[in-house]
Structure 1
Amino acid sequence: MLDWNPALYSRFEDERTRPARDLLARVAMDPAGVASVVDLGCGPGNSTELLVERFPQAFVTGTDNSEPMLVKARERLPSATFLLSDIGSWQPEVPPDLIYANASLQWVPGHETLFPRLLEALAPGGTLAIQMPDNRDEPTHRLMRELAAKSPWAKAIGDFSRFRTELLPLDGYYDLLAPLAANLDVWRTAYQHPMESPAAIVDWVRGTGLKPFADRLSPELQESYLAAYEKRIGQAYPERADDKRLLAFPRMFIVARKA
């Protein structure tokens, strides 16, 4: 997959940052007692900025596997530390008080081992806070897959089942972490985002979920794929009373305090 595009990702930064704020609001930690915070999959630093504001005395580190994202994050927050790393193999040198992962772990396989490992990596009494898009069954993502199985795009796109990790059900994550946690809070929310047009919805998902599909296509095939996708998006998300399209975006939240 080609590298992430910070400009495209940040086009809907307010909407993308809203669940990051909601996740952090449920982290019950006294800032005075937090020395180290890690933002796993920090992207361009929008979520890291929330952590710096909430924990001004802490050493805040952002990690990402995209150097262009890290360049933007460093420009945005020169006081924080940003490192290139892969979440699947990441290990902290010193156990942090908070591991925070906003919309990143859905790209990482092996949740059955990853999530307990992250919780165990914390300092005693530390908190693991996770938010993941849970929208694989929404029209935006169902239509990606339907078109990817059709000619003339199927051969170039290939096996799209590997593009994103299939999430466990919410109670599956509860059962996975409950034996290791002193306190565990899980919930699911469906945000409703008014969008100006089908093209705006396409722009939203091009920065994330649509990217691995489009990246595998030649310019000509990409143009036809996106045109067909936008047409179907227009049908799946009809105009509302104000002429906008309402994009439902379910997200899953997990906040676990280490026992």
Structure 2
Amino acid sequence: MADGTPGESSRAGSGMRWSPTQYDLFQSHRATPFFDLTSRISSQEPGPRRVVDLGCGPGSLTRTLAERWPDAEVVGVDSSLDMIRQARSQADLPPNLSFVIGDIASWEPGPRDDVVVTNAALQWVPGHQRLLPGWFDALPAGGWFAMQVPGSSTNRSHELLRELAASPRWEPLLRDVIRPEENVSSASAYLTQMLECGLEATSWETTYEHLLQGDDPVLEWVRGTSLRPVLTALGPDDRAEFEASYRALLADAYPTGRFGTIYPFRRIFAVGRKPA
């Protein structure tokens, strides 16, 4: 779900409130990496018995997995109660689809989990790389693991957020919120980890050139993800001041052009299959 930089008081594990409405403002842009990821999972007969979407968010993308594999049990997992409520409220949910509250950091694959997808969620789990070997070992023979994480530390929007939070005005209030370095590995590192665990695997990176519309669109984008822990940590007056300063920095870094605002966003993918 979330594209992140700030600290790990997140939907992966704690009680920070997430806004499904804010997150879905750019649903079409956020959906593209999901479909690029899941298209690498080969549909073979018989189909998967159980499909798990870790960090499912508001559930609209998890729904496409249930529609793709109507004979499989499909489960969306997220630690945010708001997200799970939104996911469960979708009209005409397929009968093979359900949503549960769960912490990615304590999750383990079951013997029927033939497909595990996690899209823009592992970046919220500190040290998630240490979890992967155990997951790969527990994955059933022939099972698939597909992951995507934002490589957002190199995004100018996220650099500006870290720089502003580290300034003398804000550092005392935000030192525990902004992490100094990216919490994800390179595509080659994830590939190596999968190969060392015996998976047949591939990995890649893509920078999407998102064309955004409206006023302050980059601010609206990060307000639903990486800015959220910052705003949660600040009181109302400080929140307004911080956001005003950040808005000005983003407007300068991402000027509106003739066709809208171009927002480059790098993402890291890895897909592996355990030999049958």
Matched, 1:94 2:111: yes
> Does the 8 A contact of 2:53 with 2:62 survive in 1?
yes
- 2:23 aligns with 9
Q: What percent identity do the matched residue pairs reach?
A: 36
Q: Give the distance between the partners of 1:26 and 1:258, measured in 2 at CA.
A: 14
Matched, 1:22 2:36: yes
Q: Give the distance between the partners of 2:194 and 2:178, measured in 1 at CA.
A: 26
Offset of residue 116 of structure 1: 1.7
Q: Give the distance between the partners of 1:161 and 1:194, measured in 2 at CA.
A: 27
Count the aligned residue pairs: 258
- 2:73 aligns with 59
Matched, 1:209 2:226: yes
> Does the 8 A contact of 1:96 with 1:121 survive in 2?
no
RMSD between superposed Cα atoms in Å: 1.8
Letter matched to residue 251 of structure 1: R
Greater mean alpha carbon deviation, residues 10-19 or residues 29-38: 29-38
- 1:255 aligns with 271
Greater mean alpha carbon deviation, residues 57-66 or residues 85-94: 85-94
Map Cα deviations across residues 135-182 of structure 1 (whole Å, 9 max, x no partner): 111111001111101243222212334498621122111111112234
Please show how residues 1-259 of structure 1 align to structure 2 within 5 Å.
1=9, 2-30=16-44, 32-76=46-90, 77=93, 79=95, 80-162=97-179, 166-197=183-214, 199-242=216-259, 244-259=260-275
Q: Give the distance between the partners of 2:101 and 2:181, measured in 1 at CA.
A: 20
Greater mean alpha carbon deviation, residues 157-166 or residues 196-205: 157-166
Secondary structure at 1:221's aligned position in 2? helix
Offset of residue 93 of structure 1: 4.2
Letter matched to residue 117 of structure 2: Y
Offset of residue 193 of structure 1: 0.9
- 2:4 aligns with none
- RCO comparison, higher one (Cα < 8 Å, 6+): 2
Specify every segment of 5 or more residues in structure 2 that has no aligned partner in the other structure, as ranges: 1-8, 10-15
Greater mean alpha carbon deviation, residues 46-55 or residues 74-83: 74-83
Q: Give the distance between the partners of 2:39 and 2:181, measured in 1 at CA.
A: 27
Which is richer in helix?
1
Change (3 A) 1:165 1:146: closer
Q: Give the distance between the partners of 1:198 and 1:135, measured in 2 at CA.
A: 22
Offset of residue 255 of structure 1: 0.4
Secondary structure at 2:56's aligned position in 1? coil
Instruction: Give the structure-2-normalised TM-score.
Output: 0.88
Offset of residue 239 of structure 1: 2.9
Q: Give the distance between the partners of 2:112 and 2:181, measured in 1 at CA.
A: 28
Secondary structure at 2:255's aligned position in 1? coil
Offset of residue 33 of structure 1: 2.2
Q: Give the distance between the partners of 1:194 and 1:182, measured in 2 at CA.
A: 36
Q: Give the distance between the partners of 2:80 and 2:33, measured in 1 at CA.
A: 21
